[in-house]
Structure 1
Amino acid sequence: MRVIRKYANRRLYDTQQSRYVTLEDLRRLILEEEPFRVEDAKSGEDLTRTILLSIIIEQEQADGKAEVFSNDLLAQLIRVYDMSSPLPLSRYLEQGTQLMLEQQKRMQSQWQQAMRHSPMEFMRELAEENMRFWQTAFKQSMPSSSDDTHDDKRS
């Protein structure tokens, strides 16, 4: 697992690559599904959750169209924290999000398959298949050269 150290000056240092990184660099690691742990350089305290929340905040502020957490949803989450027996919301959100991501990947795959089989692509594949069929059929109908030599010797 890659270790990222956070220094007092708020800079993040990737110990594997020996270089400073940004939240955007860490976001890319997440998209590439590369596991990492962010720790305080002095105390070794695990700061991964705090950094992940910072990445979410940065994304929420970067583009208003990509807003995932509405004000109402954020208010509801705050209320969950104040419940005497908080709901097992973490597990529910994890499973729901995982299901949503899997469905999106499946839909993208199906879309790519559909695009791969456009009418022109389908016709090209069909023409190639027909060409292979006729080449095979033509080769099978032609007498082999060894058959010709046997015929010549018999006469």
Structure 2
Amino acid sequence: MSRKSTNGDDAVIIKKYANRRLYNTASSSYITLDDLSRMTREGVDFKVLDAKSGEDITHSILTQIIMEEESSGSEPLLPISFLRQLITMYGNSMQAIMPSYLEAMMTNFSENQAKLREAFKQGAGDNPLAKMAETNMAMMRAAAEAFIPGKGAKKPAASASKASEPSADASAELAELRAQMAAMQKKLDQLGK
């Protein structure tokens, strides 16, 4: 039906008509948002164009798919605190860098997802994959603390296992990430004045 692609030139063109119908030009058939969601999961590159104006509306269609997934009744992927923090980024001096930051974080997470699963199965210790997983988790915590104030203020219970505590290297890296984020925010705030 559709093809996978790595560049925008070979993207499947989907036309959206005024009656809200979506037409896949590659398969010459009408499709639904569920079909677009499936295509996305399969890695099919597509572009949604308004049939009348020719305007690229892919962003709004993907956002619509996310909204439907979030309200489908299954467990939401995006926590309320994240959504609130994301909304505060609109109009903020950090707004310009947020898309590339979020994209880099998701790319990093996707690339390391299988490695993380394996590392958690094996547990921490001297396993290099476990150390990488620990570092990735520290980076995720640093990101959460940077974008969700007060998130890092909670201390783990004394009975928490040693495997869940960050190593000294991870703590140092976390502190360095915090310092870099603070410096970046300060520079952006100065540029915004």
Instruction: Tell me, yes or no, whether TM beats 0.5.
Output: yes
2:105 aligns to what?
96
Q: Which has more helix, going by share of residues?
A: 1
**Amino acid across the alignment from 1:70:** P
CA distance in 2, matches of 1:75, 1:98: 23
Q: Which has the higher contact order (CA 8 A, sep 6+)?
A: 2
Instruction: Give 5+ residue unaligned stretches, structure 1.
Output: 115-155
Larger radius of gyration: 1
2:82 aligns to what?
73
Count of paired positions: 110
CA distance in 2, matches of 1:74, 1:85: 16
Over 3 Å counting, the alpha-carbon distance change for 1:87 and 1:42 in structure 2 is closer
Identify the match of residue 18 of structure 1 among 28, 39, 44: 28
CA distance in 2, matches of 1:92, 1:84: 14
Instruction: Give 5+ residue unaligned stretches, structure 2.
Output: 1-10, 123-193
Over 3 Å counting, the alpha-carbon distance change for 1:45 and 1:87 in structure 2 is closer
CA distance in 2, matches of 1:87, 1:46: 21
1:82 aligns to what?
91
Percent identity among equivalent residues?
A: 41
1:126 aligns to what?
none
CA distance in 2, matches of 1:36, 1:96: 22
Secondary structure in 2 aligned to 1:62? coil
TM-fit CA distance, 1:86: 2.5
CA distance in 2, matches of 1:107, 1:77: 26
TM-fit CA distance, 1:28: 1.1
